[in-house]
Chain A
Amino acid sequence: MEIKYTIQGLLIYTTIAVYLLAFAATAARQARAGRIAFVGGFLLATVSYAYRWYDVQHVPLQNLFEIFLFLGVACYPISWLCRRILRTGGQWADMLIGAIVLVPAGFAFDARPMQLPPALQSWLFAPHVAVYMLAYIFMAKAAVQAGEQLWRGRPALGREGIPTLYLFQDAPAGCQRDARPRWPRHDTSGRAGTLALPPEQATYELIAVGFPLLTLGLILGSWWGKLAWGDYWGWDPKELWSLASWLVYLGYFHWRYMFGKIHPRINSLWAITGIAAIIITVSWVNLSRLFPGLHSYAT
């Protein structure tokens, strides 16, 4: 553990504190104060990221320090998207996630600026990493919803008294499609309940948004690999873990196509297996140094 007595460190620690404040305010049912603090944390995280960018003179996505810094920024926009458009709720968790992802940046990883090695000097570098990180946040949020589904064992088709809206897909057999399509204008509490979708449905919605990003990340990485190393697929351990993650979500869609919401617990297990594979892809393969490969520089 290393405390950073630098401007960068100060920005990171302040952001963590503000995100935690947002979480505490929301937990204390001060939803408005929580939202304001969340926006404040996002602005601080953005300043922190911009400062890093200025410091290293390239898009700061080179190592895990910079990646966790990026995740700290991306949490709020994704949370906003999920709340306002996907209606998946869980904003309180996003505030906590925002603080948690900045902890490794603040205390664990080395912040010394590094120059880009030749292989990383590609226009594909930033989109490849950024797209993956965004996908991972969606998948993490999906896993939170899947965990809620497993933990509470709520019915997949909606809570009592809360209408289940089939906006994006056909209602399963036996369930009438909501005759009056609606679009939520407000879901401001961010807490599970109120207008948020039921966890199983929310899991699906989030994975459906994250999966194209995951696919794009895989394809961009493959294209970049071809330009830099001569192979669009090198059987590198990290490549294989990222393929395994992608395949798990592919399996999820096939399973859900076959069985719909009949087995909500199994649906949730797919999502949790997916995030487990992602966590291994992001951290273990990078950190373990057991499997040297093309991605070894990303530590």
Chain B
Amino acid sequence: MIRFRRAVLWTALIAVILPTVLSVHGAFLGADRAQAFFNSLPLAVYWLALTVLLIVGLVVFRRLLQIPSLLLMHLGCVLILLGGMWGSKAGHVMQRQLFGLDKIPKGRMMIREQVEDNRVIAADSNEPRQLPFSVRLKDFRMEYYKPGTLIVRSRTGQMWELPAEAGAQLSLGGTFGRISVQKVFENFKLRKEDGKTVPYDAPGGSNPALQVQIERPDGTSTAGYVFEQFSPIFTEPIDLDLSYRRVVRDYISDLEIVQNGEVAVAKEIEVNHPLHYDGYHFYQHSYGEDELGEYTVLLVVSDSGLNVVYGGYMMLIAGVAWHFWGRRALIAIKSRRMITPQAEQELPDTPERQE
């Protein structure tokens, strides 16, 4: 039995070293190839063997069963491995073959505003598949940090930045004079008023722009418009490159889950706030615009095995924290209580005492 235990311990050590080396190897492959590598058949066998090894360890080492923290740690690892395997692509195939559970492991949905759809392009096969319910996109919008930034560059490489808000101004030195922001447009459009072409901020749509004025050192000035998506337009040539930059704060899709003709769930999803329904998570993934208008791209991910993995996480961290902090702190506190004045006198001299 002792030999067997020793063999299990050595195997455990090798089982720890091997994924360490493989992780380093995987880091050089890049995420996509690493994912394929760690999901390959030999590695799948390894994950299974590791799970079995952990279970064998729990059986042959009574210490692992007797000390709750060690039990939690090792059992947590078993759950993480089992949950990971159950939720993998191979796990989904197994679910279908053994239990008839036909779930899409991962895929993408492209939905336009006010359109309802249940088609998912599966990530593994690029084949369209269908969800047992539909998703309707009520609205998609992007929110930006305010104010944006007007970036000014000279031909010689100097760069200035000023907030893109009406009234903001900045001195560009003796060569270029002063620049100021006159007006901010969310959706810049032009229209005729009394025979003159004038800019205005049209409701809806998006064509962000700034009305900018440059006062030269010689007292003359010029005005123009700097766009986020197009080149600037000035009434006369300028020696500066101007650009308008806004930073996206969030992408938001207002979704409704429709099942049997009724809205089952409605939620605005954004990055870090997915929607969960009927075994799937829906994530704000991307967006786009074409001749038919704006659309959002949702990432659809099956939740198979997720709760098992999370359970494993909780057991692992509880076990590790209790084993290395809790138990040790308790022992330390008990030891501290055992200090008596007499014992304290017998402590080795402190540096102060030595001095």
**Interface residues, chain A, CB within 8 Å of chain B?**
31, 85, 115, 117-119, 121-122, 162-163, 167-168, 180-189, 194-195, 208-209, 211-212, 215-216, 219, 222-224, 226-238, 240-241, 243-244, 247-248, 250-251, 254-255, 257-258, 285, 291-294
**B35 sits at the interface (CB 8 A):** yes
Other-chain residue from A115, A183, A254 in contact with B9 (beta carbon distance below 8 A): A254
Interface string of B1-36 (1 = CB under 8 A from A): 000000001101100110110011011101110110
Which residues of chain A are within 8 angstroms of B272 by Cβ–Cβ distance? 118-119, 121-122, 224, 227-228
| Given contact pairs A235-B32, A235-B34, A240-B23, a sample of 20 additional A-B residue pairs in the complex whose CB atoms are under 8 Å apart | A31-B351, A115-B247, A121-B271, A168-B328, A180-B343, A185-B344, A186-B351, A212-B317, A212-B325, A219-B313, A219-B316, A230-B281, A235-B31, A240-B27, A240-B34, A241-B24, A250-B16, A254-B12, A258-B10, A293-B31
B81-106 CB contacts (< 8 Å) to partner A: 84, 106
| B350 close to A182 (CB less than 8 A) | no
Nearest chain-A residue to B25 (Cβ)? A240
Known: A291-B30, A293-B31. A226 touches B306 (CB 8 A): yes
Nearest chain-B residue to A123 (Cβ)? B272
| B16 close to A254 (CB less than 8 A) | yes
Q: How far is the CA of A184 from the CA of B30 in the complex (A)?
A: 49
Other-chain residue from A31, A119, A180 in contact with B271 (beta carbon distance below 8 A): A119
Interface string of B300-338 (1 = CB under 8 A from A): 010000100110010011001100110010011011101
A231 to chain B, nearest CB (A): 7
Known: A168-B331, A183-B335, A235-B35. A255 touches B30 (CB 8 A): no
B89 to chain A, nearest CB (A): 12
Q: How far is the CA of A226 from the CA of B306 in the complex (A)?
A: 10
| A211 close to B347 (CB less than 8 A) | no
| B13 close to A251 (CB less than 8 A) | yes
B335-355 CB contacts (< 8 Å) to partner A: 335-336, 338-339, 343-344, 346-348, 350-352, 354
| B350 close to A186 (CB less than 8 A) | yes
Which residues of chain A are within 8 angstroms of B28 by Cβ–Cβ distance? 237, 291
Other-chain residue from A115, A117, A122, A215 in contact with B317 (beta carbon distance below 8 A): A215
Q: How far is the CA of A37 from the CA of B247 in the complex (A)?
A: 42
Which residues of chain A are within 8 angstroms of B247 by Cβ–Cβ distance? 115, 117
Interface SS, B side = helix
B279 to chain A, nearest CB (A): 14
B237-282 CB contacts (< 8 Å) to partner A: 247-251, 270-274, 281
Q: How far is the CA of A33 from the CA of B13 in the complex (A)?
A: 47
Other-chain residue from A163, A219, A247 in contact with B348 (beta carbon distance below 8 A): A163
Which residues of chain A are within 8 angstroms of B30 by Cβ–Cβ distance? 237, 291-293
**B111 sits at the interface (CB 8 A):** no
Nearest chain-B residue to A122 (Cβ)? B272
| A244 close to B23 (CB less than 8 A) | yes
Q: How far is the CA of A222 from the CA of B313 in the complex (A)?
A: 9
Which residues of chain A are within 8 angstroms of B16 by Cβ–Cβ distance? 247, 250-251, 254
A149 to chain B, nearest CB (A): 20
B269-297 CB contacts (< 8 Å) to partner A: 270-274, 281, 283, 285
Q: How far is the CA of A25 from the CA of B247 in the complex (A)?
A: 48
Known: A182-B343, A188-B351. A121 touches B250 (CB 8 A): yes
| A183 close to B332 (CB less than 8 A) | yes
| A189 close to B274 (CB less than 8 A) | no
| A181 close to B250 (CB less than 8 A) | no
Of the candidates B12, B23, B316, B334, the one having the most CB atoms from chain A within 10 angstroms of its own CB is: B23
Known: A230-B274, A233-B84. A211 touches B251 (CB 8 A): no
